[in-house]
Amino acid sequence: MTMDDIKAMDGDWITPATAAAVMKMDTGRLIQYAKDGQLPFAVRISGNRVLIGRKSFLDNFGYGEPEKKAPELTPELIDRILDELRGIRELIVEVLKK
């Protein structure tokens, strides 16, 4: 199991066994660290079950997805936003007249 394997997964959570395999450590030790709150990534503990947040795990080791940049505010985009706001305002005025 590698970080790329975990990155290719689509679930929100991974098992301690999966994380421990990548970290090359004992699963029981990882579970104990999770229960003691000693892990730098998100964990979910329910009774004796422990799950690890996949995205948080990847982010912690530098394998997370880069943040997407917001679209640049061009004059054309601003004009489109203003047109939509005008349309919304006109709808509200019509509703209030009724």
pLDDT of residue 64: 85
Q: Are 21 and 5 in contact (CB under 8 A)?
A: no
pTM: 0.66
- Res. 11: pLDDT tops 80: yes
Running DSSP on this structure, what letter comes out for residue 94?
Answer: H
CB-facing half-sphere around the CA of 5: CA atoms within 13 A: 8
What is the arrangement of strands in the sheet containing 49-53, beginning at the earlier edge strand? 13-14, 49-53, 43-46
Q: What is d(CA 81, CA 77) in angstroms, rounded to the nearest whole number?
A: 6
pLDDT tens-digit map of 31-89: 999 999 999 999 999 999 999 999 999 999 999 887 777 778 899 999 999 999 999 99
